[in-house]
Chain A
Amino acid sequence: MSVVLAATVGALFTVGTFLLLRRDLMRVVFGVAAVSQATFVYLIAMGGVDEGTHDLVPVLAGHGSDVPTVADPVVQALVLTAIVISFGTTALALVLSYRAYEENESMDVTEWVR
């Protein structure tokens, strides 16, 4: 499980960093979103993902014989908060990039005024 999580975090950070360094505005915004996603997966991994027991998840375990794996509820709350913030920031970034496109008439960051 941790290998999968680590690989996911690594891949997301790679993609995010790559996109952040593009000249095209939309890619930068997608890069911002990808980097944020990477930190969310990382946060979940930091809380630990364990085999669930009947004590740990009584409701989920009551439906069917399988007990699912569970993540630390504290980091789930943190990630939830961070997702909301990231959602707002990404929306603002999209609005700003549209506005910047209107003002500068280009999606290419290098053609902007200094």
Chain B
Amino acid sequence: MSGLVIAPLLVVLVTAVLALALGRRPRVQRAASVAGVAAYAAVVSAVVWAVVLGPDAPGAAAYQLGGWPAPFGITLVLDGLSAFMLTITAVVGLASMLFSVRYVSAENQRVYYHPLFHLLTVGVTGAFLTGDLFNLFVWFEVMLIVSYVFVAFYGTDYATAASFRYLVLNVFGSALMLVAIGGLYATTGTLNMADMARRLAEPAAYGVDPAPAVGLAALLLAVFALKAGLVPFQFWVPAAYTAAPPPVTAMFAGVTKKVGMYAIVRLYFTVFAGAPVGIDVPGVPGGSPLAFLAPVLAAMGVASILVGGFGAVGQDRLERVFAYSSVGQVGFIAVAVAVAAAATGPLRGVAIAAALVFALHHSLAKGLLFLGAAAVKDATGTDSLPDLGGVAGRSPVLSSAVFVGLLSLVGLPPLTGFFGKLLTFDAAARGLATDARALSALALAALLLGAVLTILYTTRVWARGFWGLETPAVEVATVDTGQVAVVAALAVMVVLVGVGFDPVYRFAETAASAAVDSEAYVDVVGLDGGGSA
């Protein structure tokens, strides 16, 4: 059972090496690459079924690398939360790889596109699976170095400038992360996340002073918010997202952004939640580092919703609208996580489940929209709204698929976005009804305003880009059927997940309860040298 945990990582690593080795034979490389992503999706679903969802699944499993027992070696852990994120990765990865094969020009595909794509997935998968804080840093770096290259991929003046800014910002972020990790190692004497959770929960028994953990956790919050693109760390997002190849942008928005949110949830709720450090924050109950997280993350989320929403309304290019929109949408996830942090008892799990469903919705819908915008750009040669118009008449299938994505962003039932928004509102409203009143009221108001802004910019995109008279650029356009098929498949997925929402929600609930249950996490890692099932 435990050997399964490393399987997704191995599959994608082998694919990356294979894609690199086959570089001289583009057709074979492309076939291997697509097969590799398909195999990744298959392996992830098999592993998730065997470990988390299946009838007699243990719920979580750990793999000790090299057979070194837990607190000393590096542990890979697959629990509900990691499983949920891996599933998102597999779906978005498959869609954007299929799209890339049709979209990225043949010469560009030969320039290391495929190996890089898989290495991005390697970094993301590692970050979701690792149970070791320093290892999390290493996987972050794997993911980031690939994304620097992808942002600079087209080598234009705009792309190199965007990539350089993105690189400097993230190197500084990584330095801060190392500072936080070093501090936590000095404070707790361990790097294993389960061990750290155990020591912080009972500081007296292990001779640990948990107080510095709060400040170091705050440092980590800044780093992860940078990766997630939350305000005030959002300024790299529009440039980087528009410079990278669009299928990769779908991966950035759908997957790598979520790594930051995942790390926040994992570290704060699983590792730091138990630390008995009293901090009095007005309006927020509770006495752990979480009490500190709640107002800060809520403020960041609210600011993201506003900056992203207002920014998206003012943009004239499809890609930029969606880039700003993804800043806003991550804000919704952050607000849900903040409600969870402020809450006590069962509401905490409900709010995390809401955040996860919203993350799933955003990955699907935003992946669909970025790919749809790329298909439009490929067909017409432009993605600026003034030059577009009448795409709906030219390509009904592509336009309906994009329309589904836009409606899902707005939150129309029965699409995935409806449930994402509904659950987030529900969590905030429940927070208002119990404790943490001031925070929840603020969150609720921001969510409402954010929803209105979403309607504004989606309407604008639809009315100006897809409806109306055909512009000269659109009249001569022919869309690529392969690209449209991928976009349409994602649209069907958005509808299907919405219609058959019950199992998805149960998966999200499992993931949320795994996130808040740090005792189970400690158990599965098996710190007493015994390994695990």
Which residue numbers of A lie inside 8 Å of B, CB to CB? 20, 25, 28, 32, 35-36, 38-40, 42-43, 45-48, 74-75, 78, 81-82, 85-86, 88-89, 92-93, 96-97, 99-100, 103-104, 112-114
Chain B proximity of A9: nearest CB distance (Å): 9
Q: List 24 A-B contacts (CB under 8 A).
A: A20-B172, A32-B171, A35-B172, A35-B175, A39-B178, A39-B179, A46-B183, A46-B185, A74-B185, A78-B181, A78-B191, A81-B138, A85-B145, A89-B167, A92-B167, A93-B167, A96-B164, A100-B161, A100-B164, A103-B156, A103-B160, A104-B161, A112-B157, A114-B239
B residues 192-222 touching A (CB-CB < 8 Å): none
Q: Is the CB of A47 within 8 A of B186?
A: yes
Partner pick for A113 among B157, B167, B168, B182, CB 8 A cutoff: B157
Q: Is the CB of B148 within 8 A of A92?
A: yes
**Cα-based distance from A104 to B181 in the complex (angstroms):** 37
Chain A proximity of B71: nearest CB distance (Å): 11
B residues 393-451 touching A (CB-CB < 8 Å): none
B134 within 8 A of partner (CB): yes
Q: Is the CB of B157 within 8 A of A103?
A: yes
Q: Is the CB of B182 within 8 A of A39?
A: yes
Q: Is the CB of B152 within 8 A of A96?
A: yes
B158 within 8 A of partner (CB): yes
Chain B proximity of A77: nearest CB distance (Å): 9
Chain A proximity of B234: nearest CB distance (Å): 16
B residues 143-178 touching A (CB-CB < 8 Å): 145, 148-149, 152, 155-158, 160-161, 163-164, 167-168, 171-172, 174-175, 178
**Cα-based distance from A45 to B167 in the complex (angstroms):** 27
**Cα-based distance from A63 to B115 in the complex (angstroms):** 48
The listed residue with most A CB atoms (<10 A of its CB), out of B160, B161, B167, B186, is B160
- Hey, which chain B residues are within 8 Å of A78, CB to CB? 134, 181-182, 185, 191
Which residue numbers of B lie inside 8 Å of A, CB to CB? 134, 137-138, 141, 145, 148-149, 152, 155-158, 160-161, 163-164, 167-168, 171-172, 174-175, 178-179, 181-183, 185-186, 191, 239
Q: Is the CB of B141 within 8 A of A85?
A: yes
Give 11 new A-B contacts, CB below 8 A, not counting A78-B134, A92-B167.
A25-B164, A43-B182, A78-B182, A89-B148, A93-B167, A96-B167, A99-B152, A100-B161, A100-B164, A103-B160, A112-B161
Interface residue SS majority, chain A: helix
**Cα-based distance from A36 to B172 in the complex (angstroms):** 8
**Cα-based distance from A45 to B168 in the complex (angstroms):** 25
**Cα-based distance from A81 to B182 in the complex (angstroms):** 13
**Cα-based distance from A42 to B219 in the complex (angstroms):** 15
Closest residue of chain A to B144 (Cβ to Cβ) is A89
**Cα-based distance from A89 to B160 in the complex (angstroms):** 15
Q: Is the CB of A75 within 8 A of B182?
A: yes
Closest residue of chain A to B176 (Cβ to Cβ) is A39
- Hey, which chain A residues are within 8 Å of B158, CB to CB? 113
Q: Is the CB of A99 within 8 A of B182?
A: no
- Hey, which chain A residues are within 8 Å of B149, CB to CB? 92
Q: Is the CB of B175 within 8 A of A39?
A: yes
Closest residue of chain A to B178 (Cβ to Cβ) is A39
Q: Is the CB of B168 within 8 A of A28?
A: yes
Closest residue of chain A to B149 (Cβ to Cβ) is A92
Smallest CB-CB A-B distances: 9 pairs:
A103-B157, A46-B182, A46-B186, A100-B160, A39-B178, A43-B182, A112-B161, A39-B175, A85-B141
Q: Is the CB of A82 within 8 A of B167?
A: no
The listed residue with most A CB atoms (<10 A of its CB), out of B137, B168, B172, is B168
Q: Is the CB of B163 within 8 A of A96?
A: yes
**Cα-based distance from A96 to B147 in the complex (angstroms):** 13
- Hey, which chain B residues are within 8 Å of A40, CB to CB? 178
Chain B proximity of A11: nearest CB distance (Å): 15
**Cα-based distance from A113 to B181 in the complex (angstroms):** 36
- Hey, which chain A residues are within 8 Å of B145, CB to CB? 85, 88-89, 92
Q: Is the CB of A85 within 8 A of B138?
A: yes
**Cα-based distance from A77 to B451 in the complex (angstroms):** 48
Partner pick for B141 among A43, A74, A89, CB 8 A cutoff: A89
- Hey, which chain B residues are within 8 Å of A88, CB to CB? 145
Chain B proximity of A109: nearest CB distance (Å): 8
- Hey, which chain B residues are within 8 Å of A43, CB to CB? 178, 181-182
- Hey, which chain B residues are within 8 Å of A113, CB to CB? 157-158, 161
Q: Is the CB of B168 within 8 A of A93?
A: yes
Q: Is the CB of A75 within 8 A of B185?
A: yes
Closest residue of chain A to B151 (Cβ to Cβ) is A96
Chain A proximity of B231: nearest CB distance (Å): 19
Chain A proximity of B138: nearest CB distance (Å): 6
Chain B proximity of A34: nearest CB distance (Å): 10
- Hey, which chain A residues are within 8 Å of B168, CB to CB? 20, 28, 32, 93
Closest residue of chain B to A34 (Cβ to Cβ) is B175
- Hey, which chain B residues are within 8 Å of A103, CB to CB? 155-157, 160-161
**Cα-based distance from A40 to B181 in the complex (angstroms):** 11
